Amino acid sequence: MTLISTDAAVASSARKILVVDDESHILHVVSLKLRNAGFTVVTGSDGQEGLDLAHSELPDLIITDFQMPQLSGLELCRRLRQEPATSHIRAIMLTARGYQLGPQDAEQSGIRRMLSKPFSPRHLLATVNEVLNEAA
């Protein structure tokens, strides 16, 4: 597939990103895109695994699906937000088209951006860089 050449040029200095989604093809697509751009990628296939990985890996950023069995993406982000060790971690949420996040939810969960599925991986990468470059 032809992808624009900005991928590898991103100065990401091996920043670590945790990707959580119960659909494995999303995990593959997202991690391929991020790895090609020079990020270190850790993946989790449900909210609970995402929570455990966030604790053990302390990523710079979390990209999580909203709709997941057991622990939703929003709940995952809320819990991380409540704990001092993980409260600084920024998040990008993937949702079904048309879903809107209330300002209160965003505040309580550290979610900086929402992307609706199907999303453009190119756009996701741009969003990741944007969020990482934002002041904490």
Partner 1 sequence: MPSQATITDSSSGAAASVPTAVLDTLASRWRCSGLFISLLDPAGAVVYHDSHASPFFLEYVLAQFRAELGKSLALGADRIGRAPVDRSIPGVLLDIHPLIEKRRMQGILVLAAVDAAIDRTEDLQRAAGRLRLDAQWLLAAARRLPPADDNSFAHRSRLLLDMLHDQIRLAAVQREIDSVSGELSGSYEELTLIYQLTASMHITRTPADFFRQACTEYNEFTGVRSTGVALTVGSLPGAAPAMFGPMSLPAPELHRLGSLLVDAFNYDQSPIIINDLAASPSYAFLGRHARQLLAVPLFRPQKHLGALFALDKIASDFDSHDVKLLISIANASAIYLENSILYEDVRGLVMGLLHSLTSAVDAKDPYTCGHSRRVALLSRRIAREAGLDEAQCERIYMGGLLHDVGKIGVPEHVLSKPGKLTAEEFDLIRRHPAIGARILKDVKQIQDVIPGVLYHHERYDGGGYPAGLAGENIPLIGRVICLADCLDAMTSTRTYRKAMPLEAALVEIDRGRGRQFDPALADALLRIGDGRLKSLLAAHHALGGGGTLLDSAGDSAPAIGETR
Site residues (CB under 8 A) for partner 1?
1-5, 25, 28-29, 31-33, 118-123
Q: How far is the CB of 16 from partner 1 (least distance, A)?
A: 20
Q: How far is the CB of 135 from partner 1 (least distance, A)?
A: 27
Q: Which is nearer to partner 1, 51 or 93 (CB)?
A: 93
CA–CA separation, 89 and 36 (whole Å): 22
Q: Which is nearer to partner 1, 32 or 85 (CB)?
A: 32
Hey, which bits of the chain come out as E strands?
Answer: 16-20, 40-44, 61-65, 90-96, 111-117
Q: Which is nearer to partner 1, 66 or 119 (CB)?
A: 119
Strand partners, 95: 116
CA–CA separation, 10 and 38 (whole Å): 7
Q: How far is the CB of 83 from partner 1 (least distance, A)?
A: 32
